[in-house]
Amino acid sequence: MRNLSIDFLRSFITIAQTGSYTACAEKLKRTQPAISLQIKKLEETIGDKLFERNGNRLNLTLSGSKLLEFGMKMVRLNDQAMSEFGRPQISGYIKLGIPSEFSTFLMPRIIGRFSQNYPEISLEVHCALSRDLLSEPTMEKFDLILALQEFPDESKPGYIKTEPLVWVGNPRFSRNLPEKLPLIAAPPPCIYRKRVLQALEKAKKDWHIVYTISDLTGIRSAIDEGLGLTVLAKSTVPQGLNIIADNPNLPEMGNIGIQLINPKNKSSEAIKLLSESIISNLTNAGSHI
């Protein structure tokens, strides 16, 4: 029976996330030849290539995509098991701010896993619009803030990923869009609302806002009832909601950025662990975070 090495899988996952052997080696504090050898042995174990080069970036092959799903689960289970042995309990109190749309889908899973692994760390989570979380002096009340960037900027501290915005609505809107688009939106200064209205004005599309609410649960209920359309970051779209893709009558919404900010530059083992958990989960959230 062939066995997969957790160390090899960890290197493989890191390359998939960073797109290069060099970045992987820097992140894992290993040499590039050592990382290359690990991937070679991993490919020999599964009997197929894991990456193909596209310019300066490595992309997953079909086999690589399949292994990534298994590998992430195996590494996570390994780390959870090892965290139970030979390690002192880590305690602390963290006040976390998150955008409202992350509250009902992504964050409960992340926070639930984290709380199970580190039961001595107390979390206080507040949900609000990104601009409200980042306003002075509100941001100073938090230890960590997960926030949206109106325009993705990898140079900003805490940048995690670039996320596409997608149209979401009742399936009937996929077949027949009304001339005057009914919109469901959060109140100003919501980034999504601003982006939608600008895009529709530019495309000279008629629209009217039929429902204003900042809570994703309320937005989902309005969509389920067929009241209108909304725009969400792709990986935050709850299971069961319909993404309306490739519709020529709906303008492209572009991308936003996601970043994790430590407003007080506070350092603790608890904050470090939560930051790593959020970043790891959001980085791998594209497959439906």
**The pTM is what?**
0.64
Same domain, 66 and 117: no
- Same domain? For 143 and 269 the reply is yes
Number of folded domains that form the chain = 3
The rounded Cα 281 to chain-centroid distance in angstroms is 7
Does residue 1 form part of some domain? Answer: no
What is the rounded CA–CA span in Å between residue 49 and residue 41?
11
Distance, CA of 254 to CA of 200 (rounded, Å): 13
Tell me how far apart the alpha carbons of residues 98 and 127 are, in angstroms, rounded to a whole number: 5
| Rounded CA separation 261/59 (Å) | 29
Give the residue from 83, 100, 130 where a domain finishes: 83
Same domain, 128 and 262: yes
Peptide bond into 137 cis (omega under 30): yes
Q: Which residues contact 188 (CB under 8 A, 6 or more apart)?
A: 194
Q: Identify residue 219 by its one-letter amino acid code.
A: I
Domain of 279 in residue numbering reads as: 92-161+257-283
Single residue among 83, 103, 132 that ends a domain in this structure: 83
Same domain, 145 and 276: yes
Confirm whether 289 is domain-assigned.
Answer: no
pLDDT tens track of the chain, all 289 residues? 788 999 999 999 999 988 889 888 888 888 888 899 999 999 999 999 999 988 777 889 999 999 999 999 999 888 888 777 755 678 889 999 998 877 776 667 788 888 888 888 898 998 888 888 888 888 889 999 999 999 999 988 899 999 999 999 888 777 788 889 999 998 888 889 999 999 999 999 999 999 998 777 888 888 888 899 999 988 888 777 889 988 888 999 999 999 999 998 888 999 999 998 888 888 765 533 3
Instruction: Give me the CATH number covering residue 206.
Output: 3.40.190.10
User: Does one domain contain both 121 and 233?
Assistant: no
Question: Do residue 97 and residue 125 come from a single domain?
Answer: yes
Position 86 scores a pLDDT of 58
**What per-residue string of b and e applies to 123-149 under the rule 16 or more CB within 10 Å gives b?**
bebebbbbbbbbeeebbeebbbbbbbb
Q: Are residues 12 and 72 in the same domain?
A: yes
* Angle ∠(72,77,81) on CA atoms, nearest 5: 150
Last residue of a domain, one of 37, 53, 83: 83
